[in-house]
Chains A and B, each alone.
Chain A
């Protein structure tokens, strides 16, 4: 019976202190009765090997003890859906993009790799790990506390059907946002044209800036993409729903725009700078630093562009071929 005693001892470990002996006495009686019945049926004392299946059928000690405990959960079913949405949003819109940006910078930026050699590269992820740990820990803690407080009852019971949010069609484009975008693009375009921004040399507040020969090309290309944007806004004003055509058009405009900015940022945008009181050496230093900064920032243009394109592609897939 040593095996039965070992089993009961293991069950006892998980039981509530004030019920341990009572529960074990009852369970022990049941198991011993089963063994006696079986012994009477086969006509000899059961060996440990024959007792084993009886104990296996009873269940693992932890599972058996668990049935005597009240059902417990850290966050109950009333609050779990909200908790789950918050955690998923946190991962999808914060932690995952952060990780993708880190990967992008690590892969595409030799400067970043040079600044963080060997283990320092992984050490640069420390803020990400801290953000993961703290955000998950504090969210879980807050919801666990809420679940045990009166706030849970308030959240679950005090609700009004007419206060529920309206059903939102994600394929509908708000006319307000279209008009806003249209206004911004038209105003920017008009200002640029009025300022003759297609030149390479600018005189601003006593300073002369000479931009790269790519600037006029960039300017006209940007005019074309802005006109395409105006065209898309007019289309969505007449039919304020995403269709496969308008969603693909949006993707095209976004990819083209970000590629254009990436190309400009990598082009040593600033050629020279002169201003009264500024020495030639200082001006040359400023030009070099500025161009280095734009070149190293180009990767961010690419990463943000990739994220925007990702959401554009998702929109196209959501709209589907029939829309």
Chain B
């Protein structure tokens, strides 16, 4: 699907509306990625991370996320009981470590099934 979107984007002829198209593409791209972030965060937290390493892990996998988005999202997921956190000292600094809670593991499993189903549906439509 990403290939299709990028191909359409880059194959379009150069016109004066290119900037406008870039903006529209960027908005839609961000909207698409925003919807996938909770799933990516839950999946990454199958192993314990603190905020900064979690960001780096996600970025390494092509899901870069800024701190202003990640930390409020972590708080929401923790409030919903999907994550558990703990302040611990590491390298002489206090860090907050997050990992999936038992409920989080269950929800992640369900979300992955849903994600696959969406992916298959989209592949069908394309």
Which A residues form the contact surface with B (CB < 8 A)? 23, 25-27, 29-34, 57-59, 63-64, 67-68
Q: Which residue of B lies closest to A23 (CB)?
A: B71
Contact B67 A30 (CB under 8 A): yes
A152 to chain B, nearest CB (A): 24
Contact A58 B50 (CB under 8 A): no
Contact A29 B50 (CB under 8 A): yes
A67 to B69, CA, bound (A): 7
Using Cβ atoms and an 8 Å threshold, which residues of chain A touch B50? 29
A30 to B96, CA, bound (A): 10
Q: Which residue of A lies closest to B55 (CB)?
A: A30
Contact B72 A30 (CB under 8 A): no
Contact A63 B71 (CB under 8 A): no
Contact A68 B75 (CB under 8 A): yes
Q: Can you name 5 A-B pairs with beta carbons within 8 Å?
A: A25-B94, A29-B51, A29-B93, A32-B93, A34-B52
For window 89-124 of B, CB contacts with A under 8 Å fall at 93-96
For window 48-104 of B, CB contacts with A under 8 Å fall at 50-52, 55, 66-69, 71-72, 75, 87, 93-96
Tell me the total A-B contact number using a CB cutoff of 8 A: 41
Q: Beyond A32-B93, A67-B71: 12 further Cβ-contacts under 8 Å?
A: A25-B87, A27-B71, A29-B50, A29-B93, A30-B51, A30-B55, A30-B67, A33-B52, A58-B67, A58-B68, A59-B66, A67-B72
**Contacts A57-B66, A58-B66; A30 near B94 (Cβ below 8 A):** no
B74 to chain A, nearest CB (A): 8
Using Cβ atoms and an 8 Å threshold, which residues of chain A touch B67? 27, 30-31, 58
**A-B complex: 6 closest residue pairs judged by Cβ atoms:** A33-B52, A67-B72, A64-B68, A59-B68, A30-B67, A30-B52
A58 to B95, CA, bound (A): 19
Contact B95 A29 (CB under 8 A): yes
Using Cβ atoms and an 8 Å threshold, which residues of chain B touch A25? 87, 94, 96
B32 to chain A, nearest CB (A): 19
A32 to B50, CA, bound (A): 13
A29 to B87, CA, bound (A): 12
B30 to chain A, nearest CB (A): 15
A25 to B96, CA, bound (A): 9
Q: Which residue of A lies closest to B50 (CB)?
A: A29
Q: Which residue of A lies closest to B53 (CB)?
A: A33
**Contacts A29-B51, A30-B52, A30-B55; A67 near B94 (Cβ below 8 A):** no
Using Cβ atoms and an 8 Å threshold, which residues of chain B touch A34? 52
Using Cβ atoms and an 8 Å threshold, which residues of chain B touch A63? 68
Q: Which residue of B lies closest to A69 (CB)?
A: B72
A67 to B66, CA, bound (A): 12
A32 to B94, CA, bound (A): 12
Using Cβ atoms and an 8 Å threshold, which residues of chain A touch B94? 25, 29
A58 to B52, CA, bound (A): 13
A34 to B50, CA, bound (A): 13
Using Cβ atoms and an 8 Å threshold, which residues of chain B touch A26? 51, 71, 96
A26 to B87, CA, bound (A): 10
A206 to chain B, nearest CB (A): 80
Using Cβ atoms and an 8 Å threshold, which residues of chain A touch B68? 58-59, 63-64, 67
Most buried by A among B55, B67, B69, B96: B67
A59 to B50, CA, bound (A): 21
A234 to chain B, nearest CB (A): 54
Most buried by A among B51, B52, B66, B75: B52
Using Cβ atoms and an 8 Å threshold, which residues of chain A touch B66? 57-59
Using Cβ atoms and an 8 Å threshold, which residues of chain B touch A64? 68
A33 to B51, CA, bound (A): 10
